[in-house]
Amino acid sequence: MHNQQNPNDQLKQSESMPTNLSHGAHEIFDAHETIGTVIGALEHYKMYEQNIQDQQLQGILNNQYQYLNQLYNTMIDAYQTGQRPSQPTSIYNMEISNDVTYGLTPSQPKQPTQNPAQLNDEAYSGFMLGHLKACATACTTAGLEATNPVMRRVFQDSVPNISEMAYEVFLYQNDKNYYQVPQFDQQTTSDLLNSYTQTTPTQGH
């Protein structure tokens, strides 16, 4: 007769293991995908850099590249050590007015460009926005799944900053009439905005 191994013997408290090993399997997968998404953004930004014509967009790309590169290093630090990174996440401050132009103007129907030489600043800024949305989504998913508290905090803190970068690119596109913002008519907008009312907290018995 042999003793069956108690499955509870496999359980380990995080404080009883090295911090660089205190990661759950799901966390590892999502962190791996998130870091890969950030790498993809960095590599594509370098591809766009030499082709962008507008100096304003070039400046936005350069600022965002520097921020993403530091964020990547912070993620790798936290991912590999499980400890507070030496360079914590910082706040990204965009350098563009947040005035939005609403409404649609007639334009020609679009179709995919067949020739890479025909790609322009509208296309490159659109690519940038797509990468940033992917990074923000990946960080949100990874932050919700992370078990290591430091890794979770790095992912969570990254979401508002990458979202700010995406908003910056949107504002650039909107200013250049690349990204138009349709609206409902005034009555529909008013009806929808006023379709809720606040609650009054009730006292428990």
Say what the pLDDT of residue 18 is.
Answer: 47
For residues 138 and 30, give the distance between their C-alpha atoms in angstroms, rounded to a whole number: 8
Domains recognised in the chain with CATH numbers: 21-94+120-178 (1.20.1260.10)
Q: Is residue 45 a contact partner of residue 18, using CB atoms and an 8 Å limit?
A: no
Divide the 205 residues of the chain into consecutive groups of 10 and give the mean pLDDT of each group: 51 51 69 95 97 97 97 92 85 91 89 91 98 98 90 94 98 96 93 93 77
Those residues with Cβ within 8 angstroms of residue 131's Cβ, 6 or more apart along the chain or in another chain: 37, 40, 41, 44, 45
Q: Which residues pair with 181 in a beta bridge?
A: 102, 103
Judge contact between 150 and 84, C-beta under 8 A: yes
What's this model's pTM, rounded to 2 decimal places? 0.85
- Would you say 157 and 89 are in contact if contact means Cβ atoms under 8 Å apart? yes
Residue 17, pLDDT score:
46
